[in-house]
Structures are given as structure tokens and as C-alpha cells.
Structure 1
Amino acid sequence: MLQKNLAKVAGLLVVLAFAIVTQAAAAPSISYRLSMPEPHTHYFEVEMSLSGFKGKTLDLTMPVWAPGSYLVREFAKNVEGFEAFAGGNRVAADKIDKNTWRIASGGKDVTVKYRVYAFEVSVRTSFIDASHGYVNGTSVFMYPEGNKNLPSTLTVVPFKGWKTVSTGLPKVEGQPFTYRAPDYDVLADAPIEIGNHQVFSFKTNGVLHEVAMYGDGNYDPKRLMADMQKVTETAVKVFGELPVNYYLFIVQNLERGGGGLEHLNSTTLQTTRTTYGTERGYKGFLNLVAHEYFHLWNVKRLRPIALGPFDYDQENYTNMLWVSEGFTSYYADLILRRAGYTSDSDYLEKLAAGITSVANSPGNKAMSPAESSFNAWIKQYRPDENSYNTNISYYTSGGVLGLLLDMEILKGSNGKSSLDDAMRYLYDQYYKKKGRGFTDKEFQQGVEKFVGHSLESFFRDFVYNTKTPDYSAYLTTVGVTLTDVNKNQNEPFLGAGISTATGKPVVTSVIRNGSAWQGGLNVNDEIIAVNGYRLSDDLNKSIPAYAVGDVLELVVNRSGQILVLPIKLLKNETVKYVASRVPTPTEAQKAANATWLHLQK
């Protein structure tokens, strides 16, 4: 009897093992092969292998945008030569919409081949030439529709002579330049630098940080690594933990341009080759490092609920980019101050400049920070000559709001808590415990927890509307006064931007309700003469010679028509704030200031 039971159990185990093997064999799998046989032609070649997918057809999709850069970029426009094979035979592959290809797979294993033209230099797109290749996942890799959650492997085949590949993806042991991704989101969120770039490294909190440096630059590697380490260590202290076991900085040193884009465990930074040669340029680069590194928490993990999991087919709307980007800008400045790279006077000067910028923008009266966030997809990356009048940047406005909320918490807690505490709480509650993003209301409630009272009026007036805060009252909390040095001046102001790039003075912008606006001056007008005299330079240079109330007679060429416009000069209503410390701060102000800045000794 015992032998019969053992035989039955053995038989069941065999059946179960067979079922498991069969199921595993049937599980869909995806692999990518990325090659670049002719980099000087600016093409990447992609071979995608898919097995275990059932059904008569298989749809492959190319994203239309890159997370972190809120603009539909239509990456499918760069795809060429798409062809598909099923069971070894070429099969029909029809494009059914702007970014989807339908393959007549017949349930068989599929291989897809296509090329991607990559010749746009930015942190948001992909690029390849004879010197290096750079890949942003959403602009190169497709995914099977409805199957973003599937794991995949990626094999990179560098151009001959290229020996280095840098990416945040984990390596497949024993297979050169082969990497794995648990799902498409991770694959898409791991940029790749390919070529013969230098790689430096340092450790922060015991975690390896590598810096892939493409291009020549006037940097001192030893100094730069030490300073980047200090910046990253200071950033970690805000949240109290480092949520990765590896981090990669891809730094591209170029002739011109700049910027950065955050990723799950990496970032791409672009700067000029000479930026490290001056203190201003060097600290500007460290600020960029601090900004993108802070995104490791704020947006990549602590995020608005709309920003993940992503819909790669269309816009992902949120009112909260003023937190995701604005707070990150605020903390980048704060991190450099805490780390000792910025003096107190320089830091206060930067704070005052940010407030001045927001206060002087006509768009500040036309659009709220929440509206600016929601409209990022159609406004932030598509500015025109009137944007200054109608739009406010969620970077600058959000940075100022971050400062004000920091002051709210410091005041409400009697200097015991700061915005750091609210950020840690939100990170713990929504990323770590609930595994999701926060709603607008949940974010407000998280901050209120440390203020000790309702912030309903703050969010209503300053986040969702365009009311001007009393900036001075907020900064008093840390013993800082804000003074408008333009307050008692009576100077004229034209209110128009003028370019002489073509050799002629041409109007490029007109500020709402300013002198030029009210006098009828238009963008693209060429100013020929002023008060009977020929003009060949920027008219703004001559304005200080006049007084408020003077009338300028401008002769302009507007689309070939000669017009005479009387422009009455109005008073310059712009502000210019200067921040300074009170001579004798109170004990409460000292305590709040210490909690705010956390200065390192």
C-alpha cells in the first residue's frame, strides 16, 4: 500500500513538474539587440525577438514622449525600415496608427527589425555620430501593446573600436554588454552611453556612483568626484536613505547647451566643455548635479499619482509639477548652501532673484502654478513671443512656493520641523508604504501635518490662483528681510525686447500693459527711427536718457508698411528684491534658521 501511495505521489510530482516546465516554456519573453554598424549615418539598428505570444496578430508600440520631459515628441517619426518575421518567414506588418505596428504573427515566435534615426542633441532624445552613441529608451525601444510588465534582456553591440557601455540596467553575468530589465518602464528609464568615454567613481553611503564623462572638459576629476560625493551625501540627508544600490551620472561635455533629465537610478547631464573653468560655471554644474540627483526621490519615487505607471501613448496630466520640478529647484539651491558651496549672502541673493523673477512676470497674474503644471504639455516646451505674458514657469514659481511652505512649517512648528520632515513623511507614506503617488489633496494634508493648521487658503490663493504672497512676512520667520530697491525710483520703461542679430533693431517681445504694448508696437516690427533720428541699436539702451511721460515717435517697418507710432513712456513698475539678515535675530528666528539650513560644520 505504501509503495502504491509513493508511486502515486511520484506520478503527481512528474505531472506537476511537466506542467511547470510547459508553463515556463509558454511564458512570453522579449529580447532586444541594439547595434550601430554605421554611427556616422546617425542610425541605431534594433532587432527585437518575441516568443510565447498567442493570437493571430501582435501589436508593437513606440512611446510618444520621454518621462520627465512633458511634451509629445512623436518618436515614431524616426523609425525606418520596419520589418517582421514569424517562424522564420517574413510576414505582414502594418502601421495601424501613428506609433503602433500590427504584425501577422499567427501565434509564432516573432523577430522585428527597424532602424531609428538619432541626431537630436538633448537629454530627452537619442543621438549617435562617429564619436559616441546615446540612447533614451522611449525614443528607441518598442514594447508589445498591453505587456509593459514583461521582463526583457538587452544586448548592446557597440561600433567596432568602442569599448565602453554605461547604463543603470543590471548586467547579465557572463554575457558582454547584456543587461536585464524587470519591465518596460525600467528599460525605458535607463539611458545608455556607448563609446570610449571615461568612467570615474565614488561612493555615497556605501553605494557605488559612477560618472560616465563623454567629451573633453576643463575639469579636475579628483576635485569633481569629491564635490559630487559631497553634494549627493547632503541630498541623502533630506530623506534619510538612498533607495538604490547603484547610481550613474552620464555627463556629456558639449560645445553649447545644457540641462538634465532624471531617471530611476541615473541621470543625464549636459554642459559646456568649459563650464568647470570658472567658479560660477562650476557651481552651476554642481547645482545641476544636485537638482537631478534630488529627483531620485522627488518624482522618481515621491510623485504625483499621474506620473506612474506611465501611459506612453499620450499626455499624463498633473497639477503638481510645481512640486516635482519647483521643489527640486528649491532643494538644489538649499543642498549647495548646506554643503557649503554657497555663502549665506549668495544664497539669499539667489532666493531674492527667484522671488523677483516670479513677481515681475506678467504671466504670474494670468496663470497659477497648478495651471502651469497641467498645461506643461502645450506651453512649457512650446514658448512663443507672448508666453512671457501668459505663462508662469512651474520651476521658478514652484521653487518660491517651496520656500514659502518651508517657512510655514518652520513657523508653525516653532522651528522644530521644516519642509524636509514633510517630504520624508510623504515619501514614507506614499512611496514606501502605499507604493503609489499622492493626490493633490494628500500632498496638502501631508504638509499640513507639520504646519499644525489648515493650508486651505495658501493652496487656494497661491497654488490654484494668482494672488501675490507677502514674501517679506514669510521670510521674517528665519530673520530675513526683503527690500524692493526699485520702490522709490521713477524711471521709464519701454517694455519691449529688441534684437539686433540681423543688423537691424527688431522687436522680439512686448510686455503686457507696458509702454510699447499700450503704444501699439508689435513683435517683428523693425524700428527705423526715433524722434527723427535713425536707429541702429537696441532702443532700450537709450531709454534711461528719457523721463517718465516723454513721448517717443517711432518710425517702424511692419511687413513692408511704414508706420509712425507715438510711444508714451510709463514708469518702470518692476521690482528688484534684495534679501538681508536682520541685525539682531530673535531666539525663535535663530532656531528656525538652524533647522532650515542644517549647515555642515
Structure 2
Amino acid sequence: MKKIILSLSLILTCLAVSAQQNAVFYEVSFPNAIHHEAEITMVLREVPTGPLKIRMSRSSPGRYATHEFGKNVYNFKAFDGNGKALKITQPAGDEYTIPIHGTNVKITYTLFGNWIDGTYTGFDETHAHISMPATFAYPIGWDNRPRKVKFNYDEKQNWKVATQLKLEGNGIYTAPNLQYFMDSPTEIAAYKTASWEVKNPDGKIQTIHLVSHSNDEQTTVDNYATMLKKMVAEQGAVWGEFPNYDYGNYYFLHDVLPEYAGDGMEHRNSTVIVQRTPKIAGYESNLLGTFSHEFFHAWNVERLRPKTLEPFNFEHSNVSDGLWLAEGFTQYYGSLLLTRAGFKTQENAAQTFNGIVNTVLNSPGAKNFSPIQASQYAVFADAGVAIDQTNKSNIFTSYYIYGASVALALDLRLRAEFKLTLDDYMRALWKAHGKPEIPYTIPDLEKVLSQLTNNQSFASDFFKNYVYGTAKNDYAKLLLNAGYVLRKASPGVAYAGFGRINFENGKATLGGTMQGTPAYNAGLDIDNILLTMDGVEVKDQAAITKVTEAHKPGDVITITYNYHGQEKSTKLTFTENPALEIISIEKTGGVLTPAMQNFRDSWLNSQVK
């Protein structure tokens, strides 16, 4: 038996060594970082016979629309093991083919990057902000081979690497395969860091790191980490435990500067957070929302994952039916947990819920399309680039807010009808799908809800009406359980529904109008220039406000406008302003009962034991 065991051990060792020899090896240098360039080398060994195909990604983990990273690659060259140049063809803008080659191939190229957010790459004299899909070309069909990367930055003063990749030694970082490698953003800078430990019920201790590339003192970073520690604790309380982070570490990769694009992008054991403020100091509370949202993704999305995102497609964006939960429930908790942690008041929470409810009840996208359909539109909406106009305002409601409205209603209904909470549901999903990392389908989500409530009829009805369908929950009734009143914000006030208007040089130019508004029903649309309302010349917002305030719902006025050089007129019928508000019952003069107070406190107060 010992001989058999030794033989198996030797075979496994040989396979491991072979896998490492077959690794895709990258080297990255920054000789021209001041002009936003990096030089990248990729070495491939034991290349099979036949055409070798190399490509750049067109999508990035955490982003749901397609992006053309190949546009920033140039000087693309290939060489054999003896340094001889190889012929390259380019069948597509982001794809290269090397028809004839040996067993070893070296590829080099220059990459331009000057956009600091969660999707793209940026280089300058202060740092290298690296999104892997935006940076690294990869051989097609080699997805299961390990990746190794070495960053050369000796000439950069005080630069150091922060990444979820495993440090192998000698400055080389590794990933087991393409999927993991592409999900591992990397920050190289003279950053400041602060860390703390979290402990799971099983006794396992892991470390959370705040890595801040910002114009702040170390004391500011330390104090901010103390704030984040409270937020992190509330998140752990929702799920009952922290995920098992690979290598025992989780990283907040934090870039702060007004010139940056701004963003938050989740990854398996890290998140990129880019914020457009001069520094952290003085803006601490305003920056917390992104941290809270992105950290919740360490459970919801990174491990509790829709099957439609598995595996992640780097050649084209995945169409997912589950973003209403993956992103929407995360949106709901991102704000709620800041209230539980004491960084936002209960009044702040009510204002957030107000925005959610107004969106889902007053947008045509939510009226006519389901949360699942909103999720599927993400391939066009999630920072997707288009130069032509779309009808998005009338057909799409953000799955972030739409999903948050589903979460809000489900949380309140579970509390009122079953003495359960949305926290209970998230823990049940974690146990069934997140912790074992079994991707879920929408029927799986319904099944877990049915098991949790022990009520198949409730689960079936909820999903049929509010997930697959476009019905809306009775938010007024649900919120009243917590002592909040949902009511018209401006009852009896006339409303025209023009939406965004651009005032310039005395001209009032409309943006797109939304279905159901008086402006839309009057036939007014984008690029119409308002001339008069009810005989009053329109040159600024004051004129529109004056006419509107002089009327009541049901009144009809004449509007003249210019479209493509032609003067036209139409009739507009004012309606009542549809805006809603959520206000505590105490402020309405009503009585906050002990039951309402207990409901509110159990919902919005800290859950950390």
C-alpha cells in the first residue's frame, strides 16, 4: 500500500510541475507610464500544433455590457523560441492568429490605459491601476492553464503590489486558471494600508485590508478602516459568517482623486473602489455607500451566483436573468446596513426607501417590464457605449433599484406575515447555493423561499407576480407596519412631466419624455424647443414654474414649440404630481404604536451580537 501511495504522490507531483511549466507567463513593465503606456510580454510553452489564436477580452467580471479592450493594444508582435519574428494575421480587431510557430512562443505588445474605474486600466507616474481583462491578451482554448505574472516597477519610488493573486515568490503572482486571473484586479502604487481581522463561528480568522491610493495621511486611512470595520461586522451578521477568502485575505483597492472616473467593482476576494473626491478626509461618510454595496457582493454574486453568469464569457457579455437579486438585493442592503451600523439615521433610510418606491411605481420601465427583463437589458445598460439614442427611459428600470424594490417588499412581507426577515432568506440562499457555490436558477430562488416560509403558495405567488411579472406590492400597507406613511408628496399640484430641460441662450430644449406624462401625451419629445406655455414665453425654468403653479390638475393649456425649424402647437393636460414621499407617522401627527416601534427597530437597528 505504501508503494502505491508513493507512486500516486509522485504522479501528482509531476502533474503539478507540468502544469506550472505549461503556465501562461506574463511580464509587465512601465517605462512610459507618464504617457499611460505599459509594455506586456506573454510567454507560451508547449504550444500545440495548428494556428495559435490570441485575443483581448470584450467583457469584464462585475460588468455586464460588452467593452472593446482591444482598441488600446498596438505594436503586437510574436516570436519563436529562437527570437525569430512570426507572421501574424488579425481576423478581428481584438483577435490575432499565428499560423506557423514552434512549441515556444513569445508575444509582446504595448497597452495604452488612462481611465481609472472598475472596468478599465490606467497608468501614470503615480500608479498602475490594472483591470486584468483590459490589460492581458490570452490564448484561446487555454482557459484551464495556470497564469503567472511579474510586475517590473523598480524605477517607481515606493510602489508595491496589492492584489488577490497569490504571491509565489521572486515577485511572481499566480492564478489557477483564466477565470480567476481575470477576476483579480491589481493596484501598484505607493499606497497606504490598514488591516483588521474577522472571525467566523468555526474559529477561522481572516484579514480585511484597506488599500488606499489617495492624498491622505496614515491616520486618516486608519480611522477610515475603523469605520469600515463596523460596516463589515453588520454584513457578517446578515449572513452569519464570512466567506472563505482564498488565501485568507480580502482587499478594498481604493483609488481617490477628482479626475478619476469613479466606480465600484466586485471581485471574488477584493473590490475596486474609485471615488472622485480630493481625498478621504472630510468625505468619509459620503464614500461609505460604495464600500457597503461592493463588500456585500463577496457573498451575493461572487459565491451566491446566478447560473447565467457561469462561466463568465470574456468574448461577449453574459445575459443574466438574476441581476435583480444579484445587484438589486445588494443595493437594498448596501444602504440598509449603513443605517444598522450607525452611519445613517433612520430618517436617511426612509429617504432611500422613498427613492426606491418612487422609481418602481412611477417609471414606465417598471410598469411594462419585469425585474427579469430589466436584468437581461444589462448587456446594453451597464456602462455600455452607444452613440445613437435609445428609448431606455421608457423601457428600462435599473435592475439595481428595481431589485431593491423587490427586496424591500419581501423583507417587509416576511416580517409581517411570517415573523421572518430578508436576512433569514439570504442565509438560506447562502446555505443552499452560496457556501457550496452551486449556481442558482430563478426556480431555485423560489424553492428556497418556499422552504423558508413553509408556504409554497406564498413563494409561487410572489415570484409569479413580482419577479416574472410586473405587479407591484402594496408598499403603503407594508411600510405602515414600521410606522412609515407612503403618500403623495404634492397632492393637488399640477404636473407637466417635461423631465430634463436644457436651458441655453434663452432656449428651453427638451430631453426625452416619459410615457404616461402630460408632456409625452401631448406629443412633445427630445429636441423640441419650448416657445410658449399658455401664452407665456419660455426662456428659463422660472417661466415654466410660474405657468404650472397657476394651474391645477385637469387644466388644459396650449404649448408652442419649435422642431427642426418648424413652429408647432399642441394641447397639454396637467395631471397631479405623481411623486411620493415616505414619512414617519410621528411627523404626520399620527401615533407610533409600540408594535410599529419594535418592527422598525428590529428592521433598522444593529444586528451585531
Task: Name the TM-score, length of structure 2 as normaliser.
Answer: 0.88
1:589: Cα distance to partner? 7.6
| Residue of structure 2 in register with 1:312 after alignment | 314
Rounded Cα–Cα distance in structure 1 between residues aligned with 2:289 and 2:101? 53
Which letter does structure 2 place at the counterpart of 1:576? E
Partners of 2:128 and 2:484 lie apart in 1 by 50
The answer to which of 381-390 and 135-144 deviates more is: 381-390
The answer to whether the 8 Å contact 2:494/2:549 transfers is: no
Give the superposition deviation at 1:159: 6.9
Q: Flag the 1:309–1:162 CA change in 2: closer, same or farther, 3 A.
A: farther
- Number of the residue aligned with 1:475: 479
Partner of 2:211: 212
Structure 1 residues 97 and 578 mapped into 2: Cα distance closer, same or farther (>3 Å)? same
Aligned pair 1:116/2:121, yes or no?
no
Question: Could you tell me how far 1:162 is from its partner in structure 2?
Answer: 3.8
* Unmatched runs of 5 consecutive residues or more in structure 1: 1-8
Counterpart residue number, 1:594:
602
CA distance in 1, matches of 2:491, 2:214: 50
Secondary structure of residue in 2 paired with 1:346: helix
Cα distance in 1 for residues equivalent to 2:309 and 2:15: 37
Stretches of structure 2 lacking an aligned partner (at least 5 in a row):
200-204
CA contact (8 A) 1:203 1:229 kept: no
Contact 1:248 1:265 in 2 (8 A): yes
Contact persistence 2:214–2:279 (CA under 8 A) = no
1:154 shift after superposition: 0.6
Structure 1 residues 224 and 19: CA distance shift in structure 2, 3 A: closer
Q: Distance in 2 between matches of 1:431 and 1:349?
A: 31
From the superposition, tell whether residues 366 and 356 of structure 1 become closer, same or farther in structure 2 (CA, over 3 Å): same
| Alpha-carbon distance change, 535 to 201 in structure 1, aligned in 2, over 3 angstroms | same
Structure 2 matches for 1:186-201, cutoff 5 A? 186-201=180-195
| Aligned mate of 2:33, from 34, 39, 49 | 39
Equivalent position to 1:583, from 581, 591, 596: 591
For structure 1, which segment, 388-397 or 123-132, has the greater mean C-alpha deviation from structure 2 after superposition? 123-132
Offset, 1:24? 4.5
Residue 124 of structure 2 is matched in structure 1 by: 129
What residue number does 1:404 align with?
409
Deviates more, 1:201-210 or 1:136-145: 201-210
Task: Look up the SS of the partner of 1:499 in the other structure.
Answer: strand
Counterpart-to-counterpart distance in 2, 1:542 and 1:222: 52
CA, structure 1 residues 233+94, in 2 after alignment: closer, same or farther (shift >3 Å)?
A: same
- Do the aligned residues in 1 keep the contact of 2:30 with 2:38 (CA within 8 Å)? yes
Q: In 1, are the aligned partners of 2:116 and 2:262 still within 8 Å (CA)?
A: no
Of 547, 556, 559, 2:551 maps to 547
For residues 294 and 18 of structure 1, do their structure 2 counterparts lie closer, same or farther at Cα, with a shift above 3 Å needed?
A: closer
Q: Structure 1 residue 523 and structure 2 residue 522: aligned?
A: no
Which residue is equivalent to 2:572? Answer: 567
Partner of 1:236 in structure 2? Answer: 236
Aligned residues: CA RMSD? 3.0
Assess, with a 3 A threshold, how the Cα gap between structure 1 residues 24 and 565 changes in structure 2: closer, same or farther: same
**Aligned partners of 1:535, 1:262: CA distance in 2, in Å?**
46
Partner of 1:86: 80
State the SS of the aligned residue for 1:460. Answer: helix
| Contact in 2 for aligned 1:494/1:540 (Cα 8 Å) | no
The answer to whether structure 1 residue 498 and structure 2 residue 492 are counterparts is: no
- Distance, in Å, in 2 between the alignment partners of 1:72 and 1:424 is 32
* Cα distance, 1:30 vs structure 2: 1.3
Displacement after TM superposition at 1:391 (Å): 1.0
Maintained 8 Å contact 1:64/1:314: yes
Query: Residue type matched to 2:159 in 1?
Result: T
The number of aligned residues is: 584
Task: Kindly indicate whether the alpha-carbon contact (under 8 Å) linking 1:410 and 1:592 is maintained by their aligned counterparts in 2.
Answer: no
Match of 2:293 in 1: 291
Which stretch shows the higher mean deviation, 134-143 or 282-291? 282-291
CA distance in 2, matches of 1:498, 1:23: 63
CA deviations on 1:401-424 (whole Å, 9 max, x unpaired) are 1121222332343x2x32222222
Residues 157-203 of structure 1: CA deviation (Å, up to 9, x unaligned): 12722432333234535413x21111111211111112323333333
Query: Which structure 2 residues correspond to residues 93-104 of structure 1 after superposition, within 5 A?
Result: 93-104=88-99
Alignment of 1:178-577 (within 5 A): 178-205=172-199, 206-216=205-215, 220-242=220-242, 243-244=244-245, 245-255=248-258, 257-274=261-278, 282-382=284-384, 384=389, 386-413=391-418, 415=419, 417-433=420-436, 435-454=437-456, 455-476=459-480, 478-486=481-489, 488-501=491-504, 504-538=507-541, 540-548=544-552, 549-577=554-582
Partner deviation per Cα, 1:499-554 (whole Å, 9 max, x = no partner): 12566321112122322222222211222344455432135433443213444444
Distance in 1, matches of 2:16 and 2:278, equals 57
Structure 2 distance, partners of 1:517, 1:22, is 66
Asked if 2 retains the 8 angstrom alpha-carbon contact of 1:258 and 1:271, the reply is yes
In the aligned structure 1, how far is the partner of 2:573 from the partner of 2:279? 43
Give the aligned residue type for 1:76. Answer: G
SS of 1:113 mapped into structure 2? strand
Matches of 2:435 and 2:323 in 1, distance apart? 21
Distance 1:162 1:542, change over 3 A: farther
Worse overlay, 339-348 or 481-490:
481-490
Matched letter for residue 312 of structure 1: F
Q: 1:597 to 1:169 in 2, by over 3 A?
A: same
User: What is the alpha-carbon distance in structure 2 between the residues aligned to residue 600 and residue 69 of structure 1?
Assistant: 32
Secondary structure of the 1:229 match is helix
Equivalent pair of 1:231/1:290 in contact (CA under 8 Å): yes
CA 1:86–1:128: 2 relative to 1, 3 Å = same
Q: CA deviation at 1:386?
A: 3.5
> What displacement does 1:438 show?
0.6
Distance 2:293 2:123 in 1: 26
Determine what percentage of the aligned residue pairs are the same residue: 24
Structure 2 counterpart of 1:444, which letter?
E
Q: Distance in 1 between matches of 2:549 and 2:603?
A: 48
CA contact (8 A) 2:224 2:284 kept: no
Read off the aligned partner of 2:406 and give its amino acid letter: L
Taking the aligned partners of 1:17 and 1:225, their CA distance within structure 2 comes to 46
User: 1:340, 1:599 within 8 Å by CA — same for their partners in 2?
Assistant: no
TM superposition shift of 1:293: 0.5
Which letter maps to 2:475?
Y
Other structure's SS at 1:426 match:
helix
Seen in structure 2, the aligned counterparts of structure 1 residues 354 and 153 have a Cα distance that, compared at 3 Å, is same
Secondary structure of residue in 2 paired with 1:285: helix
How far residue 105 of structure 1 moved from its aligned partner, in angstroms, is 5.0
Q: Is the 8 A contact 1:349 1:579 kept in 2?
A: no
Shift in Å at residue 290 of structure 1? 0.8
Worse-matched range after superposition: 458-467 or 547-556: 547-556
Counterpart secondary structure, 1:306: helix
Name the SS for the 1:203 alignment partner: strand
Question: What SS is found at the alignment partner of 1:84?
Answer: strand
Q: 2:141: which partner in 1?
A: 146
Report deviation, 1:204.
3.3
Quick one: which amino acid aligns to residue 293 of structure 2? H
How many angstroms apart in 1 are the aligned matches of 2:537 and 2:125? Answer: 50
